[in-house]
Amino acid sequence: MFKISGINRASDPGYRACRLCPRECGVDRTAGQTGCCGMYALPSAARAALHHWEEPCISGTAETGYGGSGTVFFSGCNLSCVFCQNREISHGRVGSDLTADRLAEIFLRLQSEGAHNINLVTAVMFLPDIVRSILIAKSIGLTVPVIYNSGGYESARALRSLDGLIDIYLPDMKFFAPGVSSKMCKAPDYFERCAEALAEMVRQVGAPRFSRAGLLQSGVIVRHLMLPGYLFDSRKVLEYLTETYGNTIFISLMNQYTPPAEPVPGAPNHALPPAHYEAMIRYLISRDQENAYIQGDGTCSESFVPRWDGI
Q: Where exactly are the structural domains of the chain?
A: 44-304
- What is residue 304's predicted lDDT score, i.e. its pLDDT? 52
- Class for the domain spanning 44-304: alpha beta
- What is residue 6's predicted lDDT score, i.e. its pLDDT? 34
The dihedral over CA atoms of 85, 88, 92, 96, expressed in degrees to the nearest 10, equals -130
- How far apart (Å, rounded) are the C-alpha atoms in residues 227 and 233? 9
- How far apart (Å, rounded) are the C-alpha atoms in residues 179 and 168? 30
**In whole angstroms, how large is the CA radius of gyration of the chain?**
19
What's the burial of 252, exposed, middle or buried (CB within 10 Å: 0-12/13-18/19+)?
buried
How far the first Cα of the chain sits from its last, in Å, is 16
Amino acid symbol at 308:
W
190-205 and 178-185 are packed helices; what angle lies between their axes, rounded to 10 degrees? 100
- What is residue 3's predicted lDDT score, i.e. its pLDDT? 34
Q: Is 40 left (phi over 0), alpha (psi -120 to 50) or beta?
A: beta
Three-class DSSP labels, the chain: CCCCCCCCHHHCHHHHCCCCCCCCCCCCHHHCCCCCCCCCCCCEEEEEEEECCCCHHHHCECCCECCCEEEEEECCCCCCCCCCCCHHHHCCCCCEECCHHHHHHHHHHHHHCCCCCEEEECCHHHHHHHHHHHHHHHHCCCCCCEEEEECCCCCHHHHHHHCCCCCEEEEECCCCCHHHHHHHHCCCCHHHHHHHHHHHHHHHHCCCEECCCCCEEEEEEEEEECCCCCHHHHHHHHHHHHHHCHHHCEEEEECCCCCCCCCCCCCCCCCCCHHHHHHHHHHHHHCCCCCEEECCCCCCCHHHCCCCCEC
Number of other residues whose CB lies within 10 A of the CB of residue 193: 19
- What is residue 93's predicted lDDT score, i.e. its pLDDT? 84
Nearest CA among 88, 104, 76 for reference residue 20? 76
What are 244-249's contacts with CB under 8 Å, separation 24+?
A: 244/195, 245/198, 245/202, 245/220, 246/288, 246/289, 247/288, 247/289, 247/290, 247/291, 248/202, 248/206, 248/207, 248/208, 249/202, 249/207, 249/208, 249/219, 249/220, 249/221, 249/222, 249/291
Segment-wise mean pLDDT, segments of 10 residues, the chain, 311 residues: 36 82 96 93 94 94 85 95 90 89 98 98 97 98 98 98 98 98 98 98 97 96 98 98 98 95 91 97 97 79 58 75
Chain centroid to CA 98: how far?
A: 19
